[in-house]
Structure 1
Amino acid sequence: MQRSILATALLTALGLQLSVAHAETAATNSSDDNIDEVMQIIGSKQDAQKLPGSSAVVDAEQITIEANTDINQLLKTVPGVYIREEDGQGLRPNIGIRAASGGRSSKVTLMEDGVLIAPLPYVDPAAYYFPEAYRMHTIEVLKGAPLLRYGPQTTGGVINMITTPIPQQNRGKITTKFGEHNTQDIHAYYGGRAGDFGFLIDTVQRSSDGFKDIDRSSRDAGFDIEDYLVKLSWTGERQSLLAKMQYSEQVSNETYAGLTDKDFAENPNRRYGLSEIDQMDNQHKSFSLTYSLDLTDASRLSAIAYRNEYHRDWFKTSTSSFINAANAGDAQAQAILDGTLDVQDLTYTHGDRTYESYGVELNVTTLLADHTLNVGVRDHNDSLDRYQPKEVYDQINGSLVFDRIIEPTGGDNRLEGGDALSLWVTDAWQVTDALLVNLALRYEDVDTYRQQFATPERADTPSYRSNNTQEWLPGASFTYDLNNNWQVLAGVHRGFSPIGGGATETDEPETSTNYEAGVRYSNDWFVEALAFRSDFNNQAEVCSLASPCSNGATSGTFVTGEAVVQGLEFQAGYEWQAGEFNLPVNFNYTFSDAEISATNPVTGVQKGDRLADIPEHTMSLRVGVEHDSGWNQYVVAKYMDETCVSVGCNNNTNAFSYTDSVFVVDLISRYPLSNQATVFVKVDNLFDQQRIVSRTPHGARPNKPQTVSLGLEYSF
């Protein structure tokens, strides 16, 4: 409480100082009146091409064209982003950026409308909840030193998802899509303004039977999702207020169970009968209140209060021991998976957890001559209640028969929490017409704890552990215009990843020094080439059942020690005109080299061991053939190289240490029926290329097969 009062007093005093400061130029407002600048971290595609740090914007046009419900597929078109698919439907993404590995997206800062959205950003950031991509208006990805304005994860990058803005005039839109596997996707919104007041009602309704078939079961492998969003705004002469409320619920018959390689080769879309009763059930609520005040013509105060609540129960079994044994040739393990051999004491866990996070963030932006200053503070709180009973079943004649319940103790019965105070100062200094320098300093003060109970009733005195981390995170970057077309840029910053609720007093967070440098060309073409490098003092993996660490641990962290991730990002875009046709082309490629840089005798990793989850090569190509009639065709091709399942796969001969490389092509055809209505056909995975895109959790897992869908957009 004292720290919260101190933070508020600090920024209040700072705001008063800035409000009376003399400034020669006016504060900059958002280039899009529909989107409050507080919600944005980049802005438009054009803004992304000028920042003193690498960045990308997946804009509303691309999202509309590709009609993607899967965030993974949209982000595969961004350089420097690595995706490890899991369920083939994008329900729980594993996103990595540069040196930040992708397990449950826990090393990436995730935001929605500029607000932290991971379940517990400091204590347990694993993204078992992820916002519906289908309701997003824009997706921003920020890398390099400018990301220090945000956080807490500052190594790889920040992903900010911007929801549907409140329209300037009363209007709405419905997008429907129906496809194979009884898939139905609907996104609808209506909003507008009346005088100083605005409103928006937005909903996503999705359902599917899934593309997998469960052995000996009539149950589908699909999902049902409902998502609702309401925004209310008021705009005064020099101030504005925006209230946002969101609720969603999801029931998905998803599992941790993959396949053996032999079974995958025969049918990648098979699911073992052992996983028949596996199911994820979750609900998410979020609330935020954003206030903006123009203190002077040159300074603005923004204040955000937010709260996120998330409850999930993922009821699931572990098949890893059977799959590993069957892969090694154990016929009995294979028979258990096939359902032809009876087995007792199969354990199914209720992954029952309740998350709450809330905070207040204050920021003042001011223009002082050639400087744009941001000074801010955030006070944030995380709490987790983990109470996970187990159910025991027997497999008899291929069917599951209930036996008993095991009440939770130890790791299944615990409380975790944390408080974090963040401070930042950034300065965008226009030194000359050609030189822009960005300076940033961030401070993180994080307290975490864990209480673990030995009895189900929590009547005992719990074991206790705690950790305090304090880190200063400096950064600097610049752009320099060589002429009207060519620009060079470079930057360096300190990376940081919070250590989580299970840390002890002696544990230290993951830290790194991150560099980037490159060149941009902008005329009719846009071309950008960037080299990046991250030097880790103590690179660490976050362990979970969904993403076991390289040492096999499923909780806590596995510190591998010194490591280097380096590579090259390249992107290019151009639009050709040919008579009645417009031909936009966008290409990106990323090369990454990620390895241990010093032998660690404690953990056993060796210098030269490849890191997990970071592919060497990724690529995407987006090509459009747009006709004056409005009948447009688009092709999106995406490639990702094989990855290591655990550290050091390059130094062993285990065939199960790698995923497969995968190349997928999507085709979209759009035709306008009128000024208000457009019909489209989409074919995901046109050539039906299914590969082992992940081996975690628990076995080989495929990407989505060829899937055809038909959609309609109607604006009113």
Structure 2
Amino acid sequence: MQPTYVATALLAALGLSLSTAYAAEVSDSETETNEKIYEVLQIVGSKDDARKLAGSSAVIDNEQLVIEANTDINQLLKTVPGVYIREEDGQGLRPNIGIRAAAGGRSSKVTLMEDGVMIAPAPYIDPAAYYFPEAYRMHTIEVLKGAPLLRYGPQTTGGVINMLTTPIPQENSGRVVAKMGEFNSQDIHAYYGGRSGDFGFLIDTVQRSSAGFKEIDRSSRDAGFDIEDYLLKFSWTGERQSLLAKVQYSEQVSNETYAGLTDADFAENPNRRYGLSEIDQMANRHKGFSLTYSLDVTDTSSLRAIAYRNEYQRDWFKTSTSSFINAANAGDATAQAILDGTMDVQDLRYTHGNRAYESYGVELNLTTLLADHTLNVGVRDHNDTLDRFQPIEVYDQVNGSLVFDSIIEPTGGDNRLEGGDARSFWITDAWQVTSDLLVNLALRYEDVKSFREQFSLADRSEPGSYRSNHTKEWLPGASFTYDIDSNWQVLAGIHRGFSPIGGGATETDEPETSTNYEAGLRYSNGWFVEALAFRSDFNNQAEVCSLASPCSNGATSGTYVTGEAVVQGIEFQLGNEWKTGEFVIPAHFNYTLSNAEISADNALTGVEDGDRLADIPEHTMSFRTGIEHASGWNNYLVAKYMDETCVRVGCNRDTTPFSYTDSVFVVDLISRYLLSSQATVFLKVDNLLDQQRIVSRTPHGARPNKPQTVSVGLEYNF
């Protein structure tokens, strides 16, 4: 009998009498009045909790989210040590997030969750984050690294990001935040909710639109987007049990493209877009459902059950300009003329990136307190499906305009089904050995089956080619904290990292695995200081290939295994808050040093010992400070720096500049004024110094960060 089935049977029996405790695994979310609500699954808790955990972690709390009024998840996560961001559209619509040794391509190597539920379109077989929850509607964002992340998965190398939505208020109340700015941008977040007896509800919406900051050659079409997002919650709370239902729906239409610029054109105008990309557009729709039941049987043990389902449908209609841009960068005048629209060209292919995803599952978690031990035992049964049906439209460029020619029906890689079935089991033990020593032990098991069927006929009337993979991995880990005194704490940990290899894997393919270490020191006494060293040793480091993030060998599907690699570095952060007279001055600084290299020659792929890995910068930094006054006029500054990165592995052996991005330094300014106890007005200037650099060359050419952007807003609580 497989271990996961044994665990399922065991947990089902235990579930008759026990239930999940919120201690350790679930922290009670608190409203501003400190009334407890048992609603959301937190993986870290508060900022104070993050500073005591036996593993490195960070919390972007509601205060920071409110102050920065940020709609871009990339800019928020840049303030977290050990997190790497590769921007793409400058507006945070399709994030590329990496954590430590997990590179950032489409956020495929980190576990993304919303309210404790995996939120990637297909977390096991195709985790690329073409869908990402609206940061503007989040109440808190948690980042967990180190051995404790084994409680979650499937990605266990770099880290977990958990986004917590607006909690149901204890009393009938609501909030509206409206912001308007340059490029005809309009952002609204509004919610209203409350409780009556044992029942609670929340209605939450985000409405966003923008004309975009890029201008398309010879076109009246803007480069902006329209987003609608809705969230409903209903809860019932009994004497020792509770039930929470959550429904989410969103739509997005964005005139976004894979087309970047040549370096020469970027230097002249980074906000230009070629006319070839005029008709490029992403349209997507997401539905999310979850039902959470909690039953407290005793004061020391309880059970939580979560059933969830996510549906995501997208069609990114776009062209590839990479061959023209590469040729123009090499000095080809004909390719440059085609990009400029001054030369006619035939057989331009625009692909409908039409895909439908479903992911669903059931998770049970048992927590019980036994003397000095807090035990978590859990199982999850999860399924992924992906239907890819991508016809191609052919256009000609005539006198600078696009003229439709024909349609190519999808076959092969553009016409396929993928699926996955994953069973996970975990057990963790938080053992308070002494009053000063806390030891955390973790063991996770992943059993993943995946398949791909690829069709040669558009109507799928005949069976297609078939491949499959079955992976089983045990993932152990251990960590500890030791309090030297009331101010100083030592922490360290080791765990095994794992990354599923997706629906395109064959029987002989093996998943990416690694051994991950961290150790450090914390100081807390007014000042908070933390210094951590981390290291990840890969047995078989792999890149996930896609059109959005081609692998270093140029592949746009499957994986590219580069072999043995080491990613290591140092994370440092410090913070304090000073009070003087009527002023309060908060300040927080973090810095990450990373070294990411191939550690052994690989004759099969051609990589060499010492080759730099892609998407991991050597230096990142952020600094947040402010001046808060008793009058209610508060001003804040947020500075962020990210070093250059490799576009592909081994860029240090490439003498051309096209294998690197630029380093970038951005400063944001926020000024808030309290009109009354209910209303606040604010002014925000993103990229105050108007510094635009090549922050990405993927996909298809040089791409900028957002230029200086001014916006004003109103926040009203009722």
Query: What TM-score do you get using the length of structure 2 for normalisation?
Result: 0.98
Going from structure 1 to structure 2, the CA distance change for 1:5 and 1:488 (only over 3 Å counts) comes to closer
Q: Secondary structure at the match of 1:326?
A: helix
CA contact (8 A) 1:27 1:298 kept: no
Q: Secondary structure at the match of 1:296?
A: coil
Q: What is residue 390 of structure 1 aligned with on the other side?
A: 392
Q: What is residue 295 of structure 1 aligned with on the other side?
A: 297
Q: What is residue 345 of structure 2 aligned with on the other side?
A: 343
Going from structure 1 to structure 2, the CA distance change for 1:314 and 1:488 (only over 3 Å counts) comes to same
Q: What is residue 276 of structure 2 aligned with on the other side?
A: 274
> How far apart in 2 are the matches of 1:223 and 1:17?
50
CA contact (8 A) 1:26 1:298 kept: no
Deviates more, 1:10-19 or 1:614-623: 10-19
Is the counterpart of residue 70 in structure 1 residue 72 in structure 2?
A: yes
Q: What is residue 98 of structure 2 aligned with on the other side?
A: 96
Aligned partner letter, 2:55: G
Aligned partner letter, 2:483: D
Q: What is residue 366 of structure 1 aligned with on the other side?
A: 368
> How far apart in 2 are the matches of 1:266 and 1:200?
49
> How far apart in 2 are the matches of 1:443 and 1:224?
41
Going from structure 1 to structure 2, the CA distance change for 1:670 and 1:273 (only over 3 Å counts) comes to same
> How far apart in 1 are the matches of 2:699 and 2:660?
14
Q: List per-residue Cα deviations over 1:324-359 (Å, max 9, x = no partner).
A: 000000000000000000000000000000000000
Aligned partner letter, 2:405: D
Q: Secondary structure at the match of 2:276?
A: helix
CA contact (8 A) 2:256 2:280 kept: yes
> How far apart in 2 are the matches of 1:527 and 1:556?
42
Aligned partner letter, 2:642: M
Residue 34 of structure 1: how far off its partner (Å): 5.1
Within-5 A mapping of 1:123-202:
123-202=125-204
Q: What is residue 304 of structure 1 aligned with on the other side?
A: 306
Q: List per-residue Cα deviations over 1:471-518 (Å, max 9, x = no partner).
A: 000000000000000000000000000010000000000000000000
Within-5 A mapping of 1:672-687:
672-687=674-689
Within-5 A mapping of 1:314-713:
314-713=316-715
Q: What is residue 15 of structure 1 aligned with on the other side?
A: 15
Aligned partner letter, 1:215: D
- Structure 1: which 5+ runs fail to align? none
Q: List per-residue Cα deviations over 1:421-470 (Å, max 9, x = no partner).
A: 00000000000000000000000000000000000000112100000000
Q: Secondary structure at the match of 2:297?
A: strand
CA contact (8 A) 2:18 2:303 kept: no
Residue 7 of structure 1: how far off its partner (Å): 5.6
Q: List per-residue Cα deviations over 1:182-239 (Å, max 9, x = no partner).
A: 0000000000000000000000000000000000000000000000000000000000
Aligned partner letter, 2:38: D
Going from structure 1 to structure 2, the CA distance change for 1:6 and 1:438 (only over 3 Å counts) comes to closer
CA contact (8 A) 1:514 1:533 kept: yes
Q: Secondary structure at the match of 1:553?
A: coil
Residue 6 of structure 1: how far off its partner (Å): 6.1
Q: What is residue 245 of structure 2 aligned with on the other side?
A: 243
Is the counterpart of residue 81 in structure 1 residue 92 in structure 2?
A: no
CA contact (8 A) 1:27 1:299 kept: no
Aligned partner letter, 1:67: A
> How far apart in 2 are the matches of 1:670 and 1:636?
14
Q: What is residue 223 of structure 1 aligned with on the other side?
A: 225
Residue 13 of structure 1: how far off its partner (Å): 1.8
Q: Secondary structure at the match of 2:570?
A: strand
CA contact (8 A) 1:510 1:539 kept: yes
> How far apart in 1 are the matches of 2:178 and 2:88?
25
Residue 607 of structure 1: how far off its partner (Å): 0.1
CA contact (8 A) 1:27 1:366 kept: no
Aligned partner letter, 1:30: D
> How far apart in 1 are the matches of 2:432 and 2:632?
42
Q: Secondary structure at the match of 1:39?
A: coil
Consecutive aligned runs of 4 or more in structure 1 exceeding 3 Å deviation: 1-8, 14-19, 25-29, 33-38
Q: Percent identity?
A: 83
> How far apart in 2 are the matches of 1:549 and 1:369?
50
Q: Secondary structure at the match of 1:148?
A: helix
Deviates more, 1:290-299 or 1:165-174: 290-299
> How far apart in 2 are the matches of 1:404 and 1:259?
27
Residue 9 of structure 1: how far off its partner (Å): 2.7
Going from structure 1 to structure 2, the CA distance change for 1:566 and 1:5 (only over 3 Å counts) comes to closer
Is the counterpart of residue 30 in structure 1 residue 32 in structure 2?
A: no
> How far apart in 2 are the matches of 1:628 and 1:118?
43
Going from structure 1 to structure 2, the CA distance change for 1:31 and 1:707 (only over 3 Å counts) comes to closer
CA contact (8 A) 2:662 2:693 kept: yes
Residue 8 of structure 1: how far off its partner (Å): 4.2
Aligned partner letter, 2:632: G
> How far apart in 1 are the matches of 2:14 and 2:81?
38
Aligned partner letter, 1:581: F
> How far apart in 2 are the matches of 1:260 and 1:35?
53
Going from structure 1 to structure 2, the CA distance change for 1:298 and 1:37 (only over 3 Å counts) comes to farther
Aligned partner letter, 1:305: A
> How far apart in 1 are the matches of 2:26 and 2:67?
31
Residue 578 of structure 1: how far off its partner (Å): 1.7
CA contact (8 A) 2:40 2:164 kept: no
> How far apart in 1 are the matches of 2:485 and 2:320?
59
Q: List per-residue Cα deviations over 1:548-605 (Å, max 9, x = no partner).
A: 0000000000000000000000000000112111000000000000000000000000
- Structure 2: which 5+ runs fail to align? none
Aligned partner letter, 1:249: E
Residue 15 of structure 1: how far off its partner (Å): 3.3
Residue 37 of structure 1: how far off its partner (Å): 6.4
CA contact (8 A) 1:439 1:476 kept: yes
Residue 12 of structure 1: how far off its partner (Å): 1.4
CA contact (8 A) 2:534 2:569 kept: yes
Aligned partner letter, 1:663: F
2:256 corresponds, among 248, 254, 257, to: 254
Aligned partner letter, 1:390: I
> How far apart in 2 are the matches of 1:460 and 1:246?
37
Q: Secondary structure at the match of 1:263?
A: helix
Going from structure 1 to structure 2, the CA distance change for 1:682 and 1:34 (only over 3 Å counts) comes to farther
Going from structure 1 to structure 2, the CA distance change for 1:397 and 1:89 (only over 3 Å counts) comes to same
CA contact (8 A) 2:26 2:42 kept: no
Aligned partner letter, 1:323: I
Q: Secondary structure at the match of 1:432?
A: coil
Aligned partner letter, 2:137: R
CA contact (8 A) 1:308 1:357 kept: yes
Residue 685 of structure 1: how far off its partner (Å): 0.1
> How far apart in 1 are the matches of 2:217 and 2:624?
38
CA contact (8 A) 2:27 2:45 kept: no
Aligned partner letter, 2:318: K
CA contact (8 A) 2:615 2:646 kept: yes
Residue 26 of structure 1: how far off its partner (Å): 12
Q: List per-residue Cα deviations over 1:656-715 (Å, max 9, x = no partner).
A: 010000000000000011110000000000000000000000000000000000000000
Indicate the RMSD between aligned Cα atoms, in angstroms.
1.6
Residue 14 of structure 1: how far off its partner (Å): 3.2
